[in-house]
């Protein structure tokens, strides 16, 4: 087999260990940061304060105002506060909402980001930003938004409820599954993506059974790290396109939406992506990855119906129209009929065809 690929290694430092949060001061010092804007959701404000207490005067201002899908108005306020506080860096504590808001700040100011993830979102490893205005989400790539340092501490994920752990992990798994059939997937990315799928699929049932199992939490966080790395190195395809539209248009919960949509997209795409299918079959130990992931998520308690999450039944055509309004990479051509069937199944929460 002749090889023909391009692989671009992303800059960035990863610190991964149980208790890694205690190394945060030395990591901040390593970057020479002295005035940090500390970004979190309101729910994570106390944790952010606890983690940054050892930083003392290096915290310029806490900013616990991150929300899902990064609304434009929320991003603009955070950028303004960073400038007013004279921040020289942004510290994000939390999941995709906090890291997404930090990216919005970095996109406008160029400030370096230190990320301390508490979920399996994976966005801390990508140069991808997203902003939601009116009824639509816009995404893009900018090397300035890739965090300079990521501190992974499995202990920080222990309090993530089992249900959210499952959907957050499935969200990460979706990054890897889609990376496997991306047009710019390299051999290195394929290895990372496949091992991510293996690690996450094996860890999530253990996390759901015992949320305090640190070994299972470590395995899941490891898988999420690889998933974010894979996503950051490849072009997003149909799955992410649909989930961004669904989240931005109907304000559906991010990780839960990825969980419900992924099996249906895989059922559509994998027949046209034999290498990706083979990698997923091997990683999951199954001949039908789409059905396997549907059952895995459902059996672990995940909601598989977009309607139950708040999507209106007449919203299918809105999504189809938006999906066809902008081109995207995909291993096979997709028709409007394909999308209507796929979205109808996900709306109802039925098994993938």
Chain segment 248-303, per-residue pLDDT in tens: 899 999 999 999 999 999 999 999 999 999 999 999 999 999 999 999 999 999 99
- Cα dihedral value 57, 59, 60, 65, nearest 10: -150
Helix axes 72-84, 96-109, angle to 10 degrees: 60
Whether 133 is in a domain gets the answer yes
- Structural domain span for residue 271: 162-348
Q: Which pLDDT score is estimated for 151?
A: 97
E-strand ranges in 11-112 read: 13-16, 36-39, 59-63, 89-94
Same-domain check for residues 137 and 187: no
Same-domain check for residues 202 and 300: yes
Examine the pLDDT at 139 and tell me if it is beyond 80.
yes
C-beta neighbour count of 335 within 10 angstroms: 10
Q: What is the CATH number of the domain that holds 47?
A: 3.40.50.1970
Query: Across-strand partners of 133?
Result: 136
Instruction: Please state, for a pLDDT cut of 70, what percent of the chain lies above it.
Output: 99
113-117 and 89-94 as β-strands: parallel, antiparallel, unpaired?
parallel
Same-domain check for residues 132 and 179: no
Q: DSSP label at 5?
A: -
Q: Quick one: average pLDDT of 238-246? A: 94
Q: Which pLDDT score is estimated for 44?
A: 96
13-16 and 128-133 as β-strands: parallel, antiparallel, unpaired?
unpaired
Q: If phi over 0 gives left and psi between -120 and 50 gives alpha, with beta otherwise, what is residue 142?
A: beta
Whole-angstrom Cα distance, residue 67 to residue 40? 9
Element (H, E) at 152: strand 149-152
Same-domain check for residues 191 and 68: no
Q: Which pLDDT score is estimated for 136?
A: 77
Gyration radius (Cα) of the chain, Å: 19
Q: Which pLDDT score is estimated for 121?
A: 87
Q: Which pLDDT score is estimated for 48?
A: 97
Q: Which pLDDT score is estimated for 72?
A: 94
Same-domain check for residues 119 and 254: no
Same-domain check for residues 24 and 90: yes
Same-domain check for residues 173 and 65: no
Whether 188 is in a domain gets the answer yes
- The answer to whether 178 and 240 have CB atoms below 8 angstroms apart is yes
Confidence of residue 212 (pLDDT cuts 50, 70, 90): very high
The backbone torsions φ and ψ at residue 147, rounded to the nearest 5 degrees and listed phi first, read -55, 145
Same-domain check for residues 122 and 191: no
Q: Which pLDDT score is estimated for 138?
A: 85
Examine the pLDDT at 196 and tell me if it is beyond 60.
yes
Range of lowest pLDDT (3-7, 19-23, 46-50): 3-7
Mean pLDDT for the chain overall: 95
| Total of domains in the chain | 2
- List Cα–Cα distances, 341 to 92, 184, 322, in angstroms: 39, 28, 16
Q: How far apart are the first and last CA of the chain?
A: 33
Q: Quick one: average pLDDT of 210-238? A: 95
The dihedral sign for the CA sequence 3, 327, 263, 96: positive
Q: Which pLDDT score is estimated for 112?
A: 97
Last residue of a domain, one of 157, 181, 211: 157
> CA angle, corner 256, sides to 254 and 257, nearest 5?
65
Whole-angstrom Cα distance, residue 139 to residue 130? 4
Examine the pLDDT at 11 and tell me if it is beyond 70.
no
Residues in Cβ contact with 45 at an 8 Å cutoff, skipping those fewer than 6 apart: 62, 64
Examine the pLDDT at 1 and tell me if it is beyond 60.
no
- Enumerate the H helices of 210-237 as residue ranges: 214-232
């Amino acid at each position: 087999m002749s090889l023909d690929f391009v692989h671009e290694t992303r800059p960035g430092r990863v610190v991964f260990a149980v208790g890694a949060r205690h190394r945060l001061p030395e990591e901040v010092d390593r970057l020479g940061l002295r005035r940090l804007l500390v970004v979190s959701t309101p729910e994570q404000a106390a944790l952010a304060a606890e983690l940054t207490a050892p930083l003392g005067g290096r915290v310029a201002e806490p900013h616990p105002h991150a929300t899902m899908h990064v609304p434009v108005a929320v991003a603009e306020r955070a950028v303004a506060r960073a400038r007013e506080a004279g921040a020289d860096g942004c510290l994000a504590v939390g999941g995709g909402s906090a890291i997404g808001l930090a990216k919005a700040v970095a996109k406008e100011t160029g400030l370096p980001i230190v990320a301390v993830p508490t979920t399996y979102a994976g966005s801390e490893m990508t140069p991808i930003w997203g902003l939601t205005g009116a009824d639509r989400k816009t995404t893009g790539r900018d090397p300035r938004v890739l965090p300079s340092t990521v501190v992974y501490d499995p202990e920080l994920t222990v309090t993530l409820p089992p249900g959210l752990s499952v959907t957050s992990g499935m969200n990460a798994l979706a990054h890897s599954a889609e990376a496997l059939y991306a047009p710019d997937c390299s051999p290195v990315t394929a290895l990372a993506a496949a091992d991510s799928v293996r690690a996450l699929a094996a860890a999530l049932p253990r996390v759901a059974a015992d949320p305090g199992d640190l070994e299972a939490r470590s395995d899941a966080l490891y898988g999420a790290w690889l998933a974010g790395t894979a996503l950051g190195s490849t072009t997003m395809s149909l799955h992410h396109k649909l989930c961004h539209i669904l989240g931005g248009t109907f304000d559906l919960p991010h990780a839960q939406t990825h969980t419900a949509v992924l099996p249906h997209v895989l059922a559509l795409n994998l027949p046209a992506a034999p290498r990706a299918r083979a990698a997923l079959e091997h990683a999951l130990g199954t001949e039908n990855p789409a059905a396997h992931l549907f059952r895995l998520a459902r059996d672990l308690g995940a909601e598989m119906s977009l309607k139950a999450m708040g999507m209106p039944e007449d919203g299918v055509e809105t999504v189809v129209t938006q999906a066809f309004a902008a081109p995207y990479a995909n291993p096979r051509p997709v028709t409007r009929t394909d999308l209507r069937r796929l979205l109808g199944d996900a709306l109802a929460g039925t098994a993938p065809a």
